[in-house]
Amino acid sequence: MAISPTRLLAGLVLLSVVFGLGLCAAVLAVGLRLSAPAVIGPPSSGWPGAEAVTIPSASGSILQGWWFPSAVSAGGTIILMHGVRANRLQMVARARVLHEHDFSVLLFDFQAHGESTGRRITFGKLESLDAAAAVRLVQDRRPNDRIGVIGVSLGGAAALLGPERLAVDAIVLESVYPDIDAALSNRLRVNLGRIAGPLLTPLLTPTFKLLLPPIIGAAPSELRPIDNIRKVNTPVLIASGTADVYTPLDEAKALFDQANEPKQFWAVNGAGHVDLESYNSAQYWSVVLPFLSDYLKHPASGTPPA
């Protein structure tokens, strides 16, 4: 028995609706998982001489952190901002080296990470309010210090995405996405594999973007560090791995191109989307320490270090 064109069309429409609903459900489930709080358990007891601090944030969360003051007066303070689904433990190695070079150091957990409260990771929107709260704590503790930031991935985005420019004197951005469209597309393409990735990514990326507001309360237009970096007049060092598939080198360079002078770019040969300090510690500090020292300990130089 032949199927009438009307019934065939109705069947195709029904099939499309079912497929669309299934796709949205799958994307919603993945989105909820990726934005869920990254609570890994209480961090270790920390470092002798460190002070545990609690930081109220305009994000609505209570942040937990460690404060490592330097004995050097006005020696400069560095705020360390960890990556997505990590916590302040990721930044301990950096804290030790910086403290040995007479910097005061603040490490803290972003909202919905580590020991801090929070419901959802927002890929920089609420975390930018946490970054501003951390700066205020340092300003209260060390009013005569110049302040620097090292932000890894999410931490770097948080340093840029706030409603107001972060009141710091130098910024190091490591493996920071230029906009959420690129971040989503790159991660979908890589995780779906060589065959499914190129086919499904153009379909899934718009679906993810559509569901961002109801899941995390942030529109894609609010998650564009490449727009916000144009407003920053602070010296910037941007570092990215040459083998990074989540934030490819050309995207990191696009972010760098929009930054104001003085600025510096460091392509980390062979590194992927990894902790650049642990990837090659000696090379990392040979680049990062001169940059921070130049702008926080010797503010009159006015030009980026070689």
Give Cα separations from 92 to 45, 81, 97, 105, 107 (angstroms).
Answer: 12, 11, 9, 10, 8
For the ranges 19-23, 46-50, 80-84, which has the lowest average pLDDT? Answer: 19-23
- Crossing angle of the two packed helices 92-100 and 281-296, in degrees rounded to 10: 50
Whether the Cβ atoms of residue 86 and residue 158 lie closer than 8 Å to each other:
no
Give yes or no for residue 75 having a pLDDT over 90.
no
Distance, in Å, from the CA atom of 277 to the CA atom of 265, rounded to the nearest integer, reads 16
104-145 tens-digit pLDDT: 999 999 999 999 999 999 999 999 999 999 999 999 999 999
Distance, in Å, from the CA atom of 164 to the CA atom of 169, rounded to the nearest integer, reads 15
- pLDDT band for position 158 (cuts 50, 70, 90): very high
Whether the Cβ atoms of residue 38 and residue 114 lie closer than 8 Å to each other:
yes
Structure token digits, residue 11 = 């069947």
CA 223 to chain CA centroid, Å, is: 11
Domains of the chain, CATH where assigned: 51-181+223-296 (3.40.50.1820)
Read off the pLDDT of each residue in 139-159 and give the average, rounded to a whole number: 97
